[in-house]
Structure 1
Amino acid sequence: MQGDSKIVEIMDRLGVKSEFKVGGLQLTKQEVKGLETFDFSDCPDLAQTVAVTCAIIGQKVAFTGLESLRIKETDRIFALQQELAKFGAKLEEGSDEVFTLIPSVSMPNEVRIHTYDDHRMAMAFMPLMTKTRVIIEDPEVVNKSYPSFWKHLELLKI
């Protein structure tokens, strides 16, 4: 029922197959399916995580449906643009509210992510930890929506 449930379908297009099993979830890498545009009208809160994922897997993609991100806990478009730039990626605003994600071509040894007092900013940058060391400023911000986030993150086998 929640927009967040669409992440399974979106990640499938990005080459991450989700298989729900008793006691957990298994993620398997597969080929990236044809990517051109993601419409986030029904799930704008997922745009940050998808942008980070596209940036680190080298996928240039257009995003639409981001209008409401400017009026969330922070201006998430501005915040995302600032933090993506820290590892060489860009989210460029074009005409008709279409944004283009330009992926990173190189990766620093460490990236420090500012959260802007926004729980989604902290959680959205976790895919980046598969490529480099990530330091989240104000990690307690996740307590708003997912107090066990860091504990659950430690359980991942990466």
Structure 2
Amino acid sequence: MTYAKTPKALASLTPEQFRVTQENGTERPYTGAYDDHFAPGLYVDIVSGEPLFASSAKFHSGCGWPSFSKPIVTENVKEMRDTTLGMTRIEVRSAHGDSHLGHVFNDGPRDMGGLRYCINSASLRFIPRAEMAAEGYAAYLDQVEEG
């Protein structure tokens, strides 16, 4: 499968999805569709479709945004130094779509590796486990728990 940012994909984004992914925005905490979403499946970049996070790596952090302990494909997630807002953080972007996803912090659950990928729901599309094969993501089924 090929993953890329296309004019068609950008045109299909809502204003909030565009603001977050293309203008490095942040959705308000506790407002995103996936903050309290824990169904089995795969989270992909809303722009490119590249696989980013599995539901098996998702945890409730209480921060107001979906939190994951690790990417499903490390190469699909770029980490970059971010010094905006008067602080130093690590920004997380999709590798193929170049979408702003959120930030990664080292305060995640120790038993899951200690990282917390704090991700905007607006940058994600969720694919339920039952639909993963039909949408071309069968290779990741073994990394998603049964429903």
Normalized per residue, the structure richer in helix is: 1
Structure of larger gyration radius: 1
- Fold shared by both chains (TM-score > 0.5): no
- Structure number with greater CO (CA < 8 Å, separation at least 6) is 2
TM-score under structure 1 length normalisation: 0.31
TM (norm. structure 2) is: 0.33
